[in-house]
Amino acid sequence: MEDRNLSGSIALTKLQHVIMEKDGKDGKKIKGIFLPIEVNMLTEKEGAVYMAVNVKVKAEEDQYKQHGFISKTTDSKLWKSLDEAGKKRAKEISPILGSIKDFDFSGANDTAGAAASGTVKETDELPW
C-alpha cells in the first residue's frame, strides 16, 4: 500500500466544554477551552490525557471534496467497564469531530503538542 498523507481538523467544541478567560503571565486575559476529562470520558495515562477516536477513510471523495471523517469514541477498557446506561451516555457524547482530506503530496507535521506542566487551578495565572 502506498503512503497517504491525510489532513483534517477537529472541532473541540463538539466535546463537553466551557470557553473561558484566565489571567496570563503578564496579567492580560487569555481565552481558552476547558474540557472536563471525566465528563468527556477521556482517559489518563502516564501524565497524558487521551481521547479515543475512530477514523473513517472512504475510497471516493464526497460532495464536499472530503475523503472521510474522525469521530470520538470510548476507550475499549473504559467501554468494557460501563453498564448499559454508561454505554448509552458514551454513544451520546461521541460526535463526528471533523472531516479528512487526502493529499497526494508528502510533508511532516509536528503533532507532539505543547502543554503546561501540572494542573492549573482556577485562581492560578496561566503560564503563557
The domains of the chain are located at: 5-11+40-103
- 4 or 93, greater pLDDT: 93
Question: b/e map of 19-45 (b: 16 or more CB within 10 Å)?
Answer: eeebeeeeeeeeeeeebeeeebbbeee
Task: State pLDDT tens for residues 26-73.
Answer: 989 999 999 999 999 999 999 999 999 999 888 888 888 888 899 999
Q: How many CB atoms lie under 10 A from the CB of residue 18?
A: 9
Distance CA 55, CA 61 (A): 15
State the cell numbers at 127.
Answer: 503560564
| Statement: the pTM of the whole predicted model exceeds 0.75 | no
Q: Is residue 15 a contact partner of residue 39, using CB atoms and an 8 Å limit?
A: no
pLDDT confidence of 22, banded at 50, 70, 90? very high
**C-beta of residue 73 within 8 angstroms of C-beta of residue 54:** yes
More confident residue, 5 or 29: 29
